[in-house]
Amino acid sequence: MEPAKLSEYDEKLNQYLRLNTFPVAVRFLRSWEEMPARAKRPAKDLNNRFTTCQAIAVSRRYGWVLALGREDCSCVVGAMALGLEKRLPHYAEGNLCINLYTENLRAGRISEESVPRFAEGEYVGVVTGPLNRASYTPDSIVIYGNGAQIMRLGQAYLWKRGGTLHSEFRGRIDCADLAIAPVIKGEPQMIIPCSGDRVFGQVQDHEIAFSFPFSLMEEILEGLEATHKAGTRYPVTNWLSYTGGFPPSYDEYRKMLEAAGPPKND
């Protein structure tokens, strides 16, 4: 994919959404030879280990391109979703959920089983970068915004298809929902960011997220343009053609003014 085309996509998204942070292009690496030359590795270049949501945050706020491998990941459950760590029985049994997110192991096991994930060893790492600076073809696109901005993306997706958009919520490991689920399911996801994304990705209370397979970019942009032309826009157009209501004392004074007649002209 030509970088100029990705920049064009970025411009169109911002034309209709007026985003506060960059749309993020996510790419899953089958070998390190695919890593963009300008990408930073947290462990090597920044002397840190990052969560996946933290890498997405750096890309959308700083405009940096990052590449995370096993040695760069600070969050073991995020790394397992990426297939970079083994899924040991201890994890599958729900032990990382119990007394933190679930009451018992049964509920924890169900929660862990629900997380979208790649097979172990399918990929060696993940790249995150702002869409307008990506030199690679993304697998998924991640966008954060306020409720009205994300609503517009959902409306755009449904422009041709109709119906409803189905997303999943678990309040944890949202990196799997944002980056991985669109690739596995081939559908967009509308996500309430999880606790970890708020701690490490520093998501603000007003922000929610929308992600989709890159293959849907043209369709979503077409839907944004069409619904915009139809009058469904961001910022939402407020209805201002009305007569406002006022306190009774104002209305009484207006009656006095009407009785007194119009002002005299000099």
Nearest Cα neighbor of 28 from 135, 140, 107 is 140
What's the rounded Cα separation, in Å, for the pair 68 and 79? 9
Domain boundaries, the chain: 3-260
Structure tokens, 46: 């920044």
pTM score, two decimals?
Answer: 0.93
Burial code (b: 16+ CB inside 10 Å, e: under 16) for 134-143 equals bbbebbbbbb
Give me the tens of pLDDT residue by residue for the chain, a chain 266 residues long.
Answer: 788 899 999 999 999 999 999 999 999 999 999 999 999 999 999 999 999 999 999 999 999 999 999 999 999 999 999 999 999 999 999 999 999 999 999 999 999 999 999 999 999 999 999 999 999 999 999 999 999 999 999 999 999 999 999 998 999 999 999 999 999 999 999 999 999 999 999 999 999 999 999 999 999 999 999 999 999 999 998 999 999 999 999 999 999 999 999 998 76
Helix 147-161 vs helix 3-17: crossing angle, to nearest 10: 110
The HSE-up count of residue 228 (CA atoms within 13 Å, CB side) is 17
Nearest Cα neighbor of 53 from 134, 144, 152, 115 is 144
Structure tokens, 208: 């929610």
- Is the backbone of residue 164 left (phi > 0), alpha (psi -120 to 50) or beta? beta
